[in-house]
Amino acid sequence: MPPAKFKPARDKSNAELRRAALQRLQNRWNLDNEDGEWEPQTEPVITPGLKEIPGGIELCIRVLRSHEDDDARQFLEMYDQCSKTDRAHLRIEDIAHASGIGSLRLREIVGTALFIYADSQAQMILSASMPKVMRSTVKAATDEVPITATVIERDGAIVTKVVGKTNGDVRAMEMLLKSRGILPIPKGSQIAIQVNAGDKESKQLESGHTWKYPEDRLKEIVAVTNPKQLEASHVTTGEPIHFDHNKPMVFER
């Protein structure tokens, strides 16, 4: 008698797998919620909106891990307790309900986490690119191009000679001068230049250095060599004037 053929076990349907995963999720929820009501089906649906984000739900989970928020950590704690197979058959709304924060709150913290994540990425990219941008700007501001002209010599020979050189890019020069505070920024301009004068002074005091930045010394030299108005004196004519060496003289421009 020939042996019976081996028949592999029939795979469970997705509905059965989802019911089993949902039951395991409910069991975890029951550990901390004995008197609560298990109603994940009442959660507002947010999955389609999360999937439309470039990177999808995978990116949302990744940015939540770097987000300092108690609700985000509470959701991730429940999310990590689910196996990879269970997560494949569970909705994000189900896990949000089991974690106790709800789907609407999850959508809110995902939006905040994405904003902070994108902003920090943009700042890092900008910081990494600044040396290259500044080198290119300086090169554009200082690069001189020869000006050539065709000249007919006395012997009738036609030659090309350099008769001068062009200046660098004027707009690049202007941007550099404004970024260093040498040129004033006109009112209403949308150029954003970060001024950290207060930070410089505080850092000088903390570190103990007494040196000054070149632009600060330039302003002091201009104020002393080209004063427009001296500080008004409070003494009458004929009285001796005593200067306090500990008090700096103020020149108004």
Query: Where residue 3 falls among pLDDT bands split at 50, 70, 90?
Result: low
Q: Could you tell me where the DSSP H helices lie in 82-166?
A: 84-89, 92-99, 103-142
pLDDT at 199 over 80: no
71 and 140 within one domain: no
pLDDT tens-place string over residues 238-252? 555 555 555 555 555
pLDDT tens-place string over residues 92-150? 999 999 999 999 999 999 999 999 999 999 999 989 998 888 888 888 888 888 888 88
Instruction: With respect to residue 102, please indicate whether it lies within any of the assigned structural domains.
Output: yes
170 and 81 within one domain: no
Amino acid identity of residue 131, one-letter, is P
pLDDT at 226 over 80: no
110 and 83 within one domain: yes
164 and 105 within one domain: no
Instruction: With respect to residue 195, please indicate whether it lies within any of the assigned structural domains.
Output: no
93 and 49 within one domain: yes
Please answer whether residues 57 and 92 qualify as being in contact, where contact means their C-beta atoms are separated by less than 8 angstroms: yes
96 and 152 within one domain: no
Strand partners, 161: 149
241 and 157 within one domain: no
Instruction: With respect to residue 216, please indicate whether it lies within any of the assigned structural domains.
Output: yes
Instruction: With respect to residue 3, please indicate whether it lies within any of the assigned structural domains.
Output: no
Please tell me the distance from the alpha carbon of residue 243 to that of residue 240, in angstroms, as a whole number: 10
97 and 21 within one domain: yes
pLDDT at 10 over 60: no
Domain limits at 95? 14-29+38-125
165 and 223 within one domain: no
Question: Of 59, 93, 125, which marks where a domain is finished?
Answer: 125
Instruction: With respect to residue 106, please indicate whether it lies within any of the assigned structural domains.
Output: yes
Please tell me the distance from the alpha carbon of residue 120 to that of residue 137, in angstroms, as a whole number: 25
Q: What is the pLDDT of residue 138?
A: 85
119 and 134 within one domain: no
pLDDT at 17 over 50: yes
Structural Rg of the chain based on CA atoms: 36
Q: Is pLDDT larger for residue 11 or for residue 99? A: 99
Q: Is pLDDT larger for residue 24 or for residue 211? A: 24
What average pLDDT does the chain have?
A: 78
Instruction: With respect to residue 113, please indicate whether it lies within any of the assigned structural domains.
Output: yes
Instruction: With respect to residue 186, please indicate whether it lies within any of the assigned structural domains.
Output: no
pLDDT at 22 over 90: yes
Q: What is the pLDDT of residue 37?
A: 87
Instruction: With respect to residue 7, please indicate whether it lies within any of the assigned structural domains.
Output: no
Query: Where residue 217 falls among pLDDT bands split at 50, 70, 90?
Result: low
Query: Where residue 177 falls among pLDDT bands split at 50, 70, 90?
Result: confident
Which range among 75-79, 103-107, 114-118, 153-157 shows the weakest confidence by mean pLDDT? Answer: 153-157
Please tell me the distance from the alpha carbon of residue 147 to that of residue 150, in angstroms, as a whole number: 11
Q: Is pLDDT larger for residue 204 or for residue 65? A: 65
Query: How many domains does one find in the chain?
Result: 3
